[in-house]
């Protein structure tokens, strides 16, 4: 006589079907998010990467300019073509940019405020000031 074991090892067909359905639903959600399903002009991954790069470079540069202000009680007068401060004292430093990104810097109010604009190779512009986060500027 054969005794049946109530606890069999392995998965039953119902459990396997449930797992397959869950994986299918998750893959549909993932594919729809990457396909650019929004009604506006779909942005590419490259465009998103360039935007993130501009914002990151601006945030880092803004932090450096604020540190310069703490040390000198003013913002730099200007930046040269290498994004280095133009200064007669020893507080010179350079802002680092990623490849293909250009900075345009201006300071006013006796060097108590600044505006820094980052422009990429396709003309996308983001701007940051001494009291704002990076925001996109219309082309």
Give residue 20's pLDDT: 92
> Under DSSP, is residue 42 helix (H, G, I), strand (E, B) or coil?
coil
Using the predicted structure, report yes or no on whether residue 38 has a pLDDT greater than 60.
no
Residue 1: band (very low, low, confident or very high) from pLDDT cuts 50, 70, 90: low
The predicted model gives 17-24 an average pLDDT of 92
3-state helix, strand, coil in the chain (%, to 5): 35, 20, 45
- For 107-136, write each residue's pLDDT tens digit: 887 888 999 999 888 888 899 998 888 888
Using the predicted structure, report yes or no on whether residue 37 has a pLDDT greater than 60.
no
Give residue 23's pLDDT: 94
Distances (CA, A) of 125 to 11, 12, 99, 106, 120: 56, 57, 15, 15, 7
Distance CA 108, CA 100 (A): 27
Give residue 84's pLDDT: 85
> Under DSSP, is residue 2 helix (H, G, I), strand (E, B) or coil?
coil
- For 52-97, write each residue's pLDDT tens digit: 888 899 899 988 888 888 888 888 888 888 888 876 666 778 888 8
Give residue 22's pLDDT: 93
Give residue 41's pLDDT: 54
């Amino acid at each position: 006589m054969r005794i049946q074991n109530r606890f069999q090892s392995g998965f039953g067909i119902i459990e396997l079907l449930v797992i397959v359905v869950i994986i299918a639903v998750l893959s549909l959600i993932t594919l729809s998010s990457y396909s650019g399903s929004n009604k506006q002009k779909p942005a590419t991954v490259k465009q998103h990467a360039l935007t993130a790069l501009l914002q990151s470079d601006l945030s880092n540069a803004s932090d450096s300019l604020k540190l310069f202000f703490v040390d000198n009680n003013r913002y730099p007068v200007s930046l040269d073509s290498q994004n280095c401060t133009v200064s007669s004292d020893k507080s010179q430093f350079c802002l680092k940019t990623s490849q293909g990104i250009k900075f345009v810097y201006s300071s006013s109010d006796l060097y108590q405020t600044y505006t820094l604009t980052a422009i990429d190779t396709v003309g996308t512009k983001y701007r940051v000031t001494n009291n704002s986060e990076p925001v996109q500027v219309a082309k």
